[in-house]
Amino acid sequence: MQSGFAFSGNPVIFSEPAQPNKEVTGGRFDLWRGPETIYSCKFSLPLYSLNLAEVIDGELAPIPLPDFKEGEWISLASDFISRTIYILGEYDNAADIESEDIVMLRGRIPSALYRQLTAAGKDIFTERFLNPEANFFLTTRTSGDIIEIPETEIYPLCFIVPKGGEIIVTTSFGNHRSGELSKGIYWLDLDALRRRIFMNYSGSRLPNVFNVRFADSEKNIEVVITRSEISLDRVRLRYRNSFDIPEVMAFTGKLTVKQSKEESQDNEYLSYLPISDDFRIDREESRLKIELTLDTGPISPRDLPRLLEVVNSSDVALESPVDGSWIPVVVSAGDISFPLRPETPESFEITLRISEDDLSVLDALNPDDMPPLRLFTDEYNDKFS
C-alpha cells in the first residue's frame, strides 16, 4: 500500500515474500491488529497471493458516531492504534517475515477505480484523503473542491490527519483554528461552528460558506450550506456511505405507516382444560412488524447515486421529528429505474422497516403527540413567563 492506508472492502493482498533461498518450502505468519493477533496462517511455497480483506473487515469497528462536547467543533473519531494492521512471521528456516503497518478503514471504493489506481501505482488515499490539495473529506457527495450541503442535511464531515497538523476554517467572520491535532480520524462540525459564530460574533447572521484547509496548505475546500425548500413533510435518514462514514439525506415526500403481525401456526399450541377434559387452541404473542413507505419527493439527477447508497447501506436510521433521536431501520426498494442521463428530478418509493417490534416507537414518529408549547405558567405571578 503506497500510502499506508487501505479500505477493508477492497483487496488487501499478502503476496509471496522474497525467499531467502531456494530450499525454503513454506512458513507461517500472524496478522496483528494493534497489540493482538487476529489471524494465523501457515503457507507452502509457491504462495502467489492471499486476500486478507475479509478477515480484517470482520475485526474492524466502524468509525464511531460524532460525539462533541459543549462548544467543540472538532472532535477525535478514532485513533490509528486500533486500526493498524501488520504481519509478523517466519520461514521454515527461521528467517523473519515482517510487513509495513497499514491503517485500515471499513468501506470501499468502486472496483473499477481500484484497478485503475493500482495499475498506475497509486491509491485513493494518496490521491485524495491524505492529499491537502484535494477534497480530503470522506464524503460521497462529491470528489470536487466545492461541497454543497442542503441546510436540512448538515452533519459532521470526517477527515484524516495522517501525521498531525492544524485545520483552519475561514468564513466572512474571520479564521477559526482547530489548534494542533495529533494523528487520527476526526469530525468537523460546521453546524456547531455556525452556532458559535452566531452567538459570539454576528448575533443576526449565519455563515453559509466555509473554506477549509490544513495550515501547511494554501488549497481551500469550499463547503457551501445551501437553502432547502420549505416542506410540510420532511424525512431525514442517516446512513453509512460506501466509505462507511455516516452522512444524512433528507426527503420531502410523505411517510405512510403500516402495522402488521407475523402470523404463523408455529405460534399456536394446545392448552388443556381440566374441567371439561378437553383442549383449546392458544397462541403466543405475535411479533409486530412496522413498515414505513416513503415517497422520496423529487430527487435531482445529482443525488441519485446517494439515494442508491441509502438503499444499499447496511446501517440506516430514521430521525424522529419529536426528539431528534435516531431509529434503526432496514431500507428496501423495488426496481429503481431512471434514464441513463436523467435531466429532471424524479420521485421514488422506498420501504423502511423499523428494527424494533415495539409500538412505542410510533410515538417518536408522531409530532402531534408532543405537548403544546406554553407562553404562560399555570399559576399567576407578576413575572412574564
Answer whether 135's CB lies under 8 Å from 144's CB: yes
Q: Give the Cβ contact number of residue 238 at 10 Å.
A: 21
To 10 degrees, the CA torsion angle through 143, 144, 149, 155?
Answer: 40
**Cell output for 56:** 480484517
Scanning the structure block, which residue is given the C-alpha cell 494518496? 126
Q: Which residues pair with 296 in a beta bridge?
A: none
Cα(150)–Cα(300) distance, rounded to whole angstroms? 13
To 10 degrees, the CA torsion angle through 42, 45, 47, 50?
Answer: 0
Residue 288, class by beta-carbon neighbours within 10 Å (0-12 exposed, 13-18 middle, 19+ buried)?
Answer: middle
Q: Give the Cβ contact number of residue 275 at 10 Å.
A: 5
- pLDDT tens for residues 268-320? 778 878 888 788 887 776 667 778 899 998 888 889 999 999 999 999 999 98
Question: What is the pLDDT of the chain when averaged over all its residues?
Answer: 85
Answer whether 31's CB lies under 8 Å from 45's CB: no
- pLDDT tens for residues 50-90? 889 999 999 999 999 999 998 899 999 999 998 999 988 88
The fold of 1-68+75-106 is Immunoglobulin-like (2.60.40)
Cα(31)–Cα(380) distance, rounded to whole angstroms? 71
**Cell output for 273:** 382444560
Residue 83: the pLDDT is 94
Scanning the structure block, which residue is given the C-alpha cell 410515538? 363
**Cell output for 289:** 412488524
What are the extents of the domains in the chain? 1-68+75-106, 131-228, 235-259+287-369
- pLDDT tens for residues 200-242? 875 678 899 999 999 999 999 999 999 988 888 889 999 999 9
**Cell output for 315:** 446501517
Answer whether 59's CB lies under 8 Å from 104's CB: no
Cα(246)–Cα(62) distance, rounded to whole angstroms? 10
Answer whether 284's CB lies under 8 Å from 249's CB: no
Residue 367: the pLDDT is 58
Highest mean pLDDT among 23-27, 355-359, 377-381: 23-27
To 10 degrees, the CA torsion angle through 308, 309, 310, 311?
Answer: 50
CATH of 131-228, one of 3.30.1370, 3.40.50, 3.30.70, 2.60.40: 2.60.40
Higher-confidence residue: 177 or 198?
177
**Cell output for 137:** 473529506
Answer whether 307's CB lies under 8 Å from 348's CB: yes
Answer whether 90's CB lies under 8 Å from 30's CB: no
Q: Are strands 84-91 and 174-177 parallel, antiparallel or unpaired?
A: unpaired
Q: Which residues pair with 255 in a beta bridge?
A: 294
Cα(80)–Cα(99) distance, rounded to whole angstroms? 17
Answer whether 296's CB lies under 8 Å from 253's CB: yes
| Predicted TM-score of the model (pTM) | 0.84
**Domains 1-68+75-106 and 131-228 are alike in CATH topology:** yes
The contacts of residue 268 (CB under 8 Å, 6+ apart) are 281, 282, 283
